[in-house]
């Protein structure tokens, strides 16, 4: 009998917990070949599960009495709240009782918990948070998007290697291109970090390094993996989110004025297409790559569809043995 992958889900993480989290888990087990362990207060989760029809064998509820909030200091919260849904869930994965972990809770706590409880793959100096940014040609995978504010050149080299493994095996991209985020396209541009990183990436085997990429060129597409430190990556991510939201609001506001209202009705379908193009829920969350098991950070406002797709991402990651393949590509120093 085929073994079903088990994804552990923090039922209490995010703005819409537990309602949307539980619904997403139910949708996942109904549509995917997966088991789910929902972690949180048993009575609360079971009350939500009672609303749905699903195979009871595929969802298990694991009791946890505490919740880590977004305003707590991440590392101390992980150490202090041993019975939180996040800590209990991560420990299940560490103990081999789950293959991957999903949470829409505190980003800092998830990153701290991933490092302290799951641990790094041997040889990986810094795990990285990866985000799929929509572009004109599809999307680009941005590493690091917030886990490592300060980086060394060798970290960026490892990000490129891990990103390549991820894109080749999860999204089936052949020889995905790797770009280094910089203030200019020329090799000599940038600060000490980017100049040294460029030299390293140029000499790195098994990646398709194409050189520097300026932030203004990211939305045009054409580069499948972008590497940078977490400060730059998180700035790119938040600016992109804010710019996209603001531009849609401005355009929508202009075309619904006076004589343009008829045109607005005609443009409803194109606007729906654009909204779908920018839909982060289709991916489900940002993978924290470089750990001994996959940890996915779902957006704090995730709905059921986002949670289902985060679980789907975990299934693909586990099926393709991404941890093993990263370990093969990044050997620990002897």
pLDDT reported for residue 264 = 59
266 has pLDDT over 60: no
Contact (CB, 8 A) for 49 and 71 = no
Binning pLDDT at 50, 70 and 90, where does residue 38 land? Answer: very high
149 has pLDDT over 80: yes
Contact (CB, 8 A) for 23 and 309 = no
Give φ, ψ of 300 to 5 degrees.
Answer: -60, -30
Give the residue-averaged pLDDT of 265-269.
57
Instruction: Please give the structure tokens belonging to residue 227.
Output: 């590497």
261 has pLDDT over 80: no
List, as one string, the DSSP characters of 176-238: -EEEEE-SSSSTT-S-HHHHHHHHHHHH-TTSEEEEEE-GGGGGG---SEEE--HHHHHHHHH
Question: In 3D, which of 103, 84, 100 has the Cα closest to residue 92?
Answer: 100
Task: Using CB atoms within 10 Å of the CB of residue 308, give its burial: 0 to 12 exposed, 13 to 18 middle, 19+ buried.
Answer: buried
Give the residue-averaged pLDDT of 204-230.
92
128-135 and 208-213 beta bridge pairing = unpaired
Contact (CB, 8 A) for 97 and 73 = no
Q: Which domains does the chain have, with CATH numbers?
A: 1-124+290-334 (3.40.718.10), 126-280 (3.40.718.10)
B/e letters for 174-213, b = 16+ CB within 10 Å, e = fewer, are eebbbbbbbeeeeeeebeebbebbbebbeeeeebbbebbb
Question: In 3D, which of 308, 310, 314 has the Cα closest to residue 22?
Answer: 308
Contact (CB, 8 A) for 199 and 163 = no
Distance of CA 143 to CAs 53, 126, 148, 237, Å?
39, 11, 10, 11
**pLDDT tens digits, residue range 78-89?**
999 999 999 999
Binning pLDDT at 50, 70 and 90, where does residue 207 land? Answer: very high
pLDDT reported for residue 240 = 81
Binning pLDDT at 50, 70 and 90, where does residue 284 land? Answer: low
Contact (CB, 8 A) for 113 and 90 = yes
Binning pLDDT at 50, 70 and 90, where does residue 229 land? Answer: very high
Give the residue-averaged pLDDT of 218-230.
92
pLDDT reported for residue 259 = 59
pLDDT reported for residue 295 = 94
Phi-psi category of residue 56: left, alpha or beta, with phi > 0 → left and psi -120 to 50 → alpha: alpha
Q: Rounded to whole angstroms, how far apart are CA atoms 228 and 330?
A: 18
Flag the least confident range among 121-125, 159-163, 277-281. 277-281
pLDDT reported for residue 257 = 67
């Amino acid at each position: 009998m085929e073994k079903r992958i088990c994804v552990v889900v923090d039922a209490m993480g995010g703005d819409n917990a537990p309602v949307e989290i539980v619904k997403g888990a139910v949708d996942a087990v109904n549509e995917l070949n997966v088991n789910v362990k929902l972690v949180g207060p048993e009575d609360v989760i079971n009350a939500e599960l009672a609303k749905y029809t699903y195979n009871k064998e595929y969802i298990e509820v694991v009791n946890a009495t505490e919740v880590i909030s977004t305003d707590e200091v991440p590392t101390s919260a992980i150490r202090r709240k041993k019975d939180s849904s996040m800590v209990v869930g991560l420990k299940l994965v560490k103990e081999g009782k789950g293959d991957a972990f999903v949470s829409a809770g505190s980003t800092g706590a998830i990153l701290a918990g991933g490092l302290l409880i799951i641990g790094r793959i041997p040889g990986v100096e810094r795990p990285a948070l990866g985000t799929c940014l929509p572009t004109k040609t599809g999307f680009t995978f941005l590493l690091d998007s917030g886990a490592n504010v300060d980086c060394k050149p060798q970290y960026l080299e490892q990000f490129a290697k891990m990103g390549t493994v991820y894109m080749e095996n999860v999204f089936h991209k052949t020889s995905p291109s790797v770009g280094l985020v910089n203030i200019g396209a020329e090799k000599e541009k940038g600060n000490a970090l980017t100049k040294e990183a460029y030299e390293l990436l140029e000499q790195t085997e098994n990646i398709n390094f194409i050189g520097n990429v300026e932030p203004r060129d990211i939305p045009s597409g054409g580069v499948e993996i972008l590497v940078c430190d977490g400060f730059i990556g998180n700035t790119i991510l938040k600016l992109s989110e804010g710019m996209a939201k603001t531009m849609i609001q401005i355009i929508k506001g202009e075309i619904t004025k006076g004589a343009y209202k008829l045109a607005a009705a005609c443009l409803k379908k194109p606007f729906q297409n654009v909204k779908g193009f920018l839909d982060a829920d289709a991916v489900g969350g940002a993978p924290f790559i470089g750990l001994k098991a996959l940890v996915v950070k779902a957006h704090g406002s995730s709905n059921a569809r986002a949670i289902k797709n985060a679980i789907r991402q975990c299934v693909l990651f586990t099926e393709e043995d991404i941890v093993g393949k990263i370990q093969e590509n990044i050997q620990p120093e002897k």
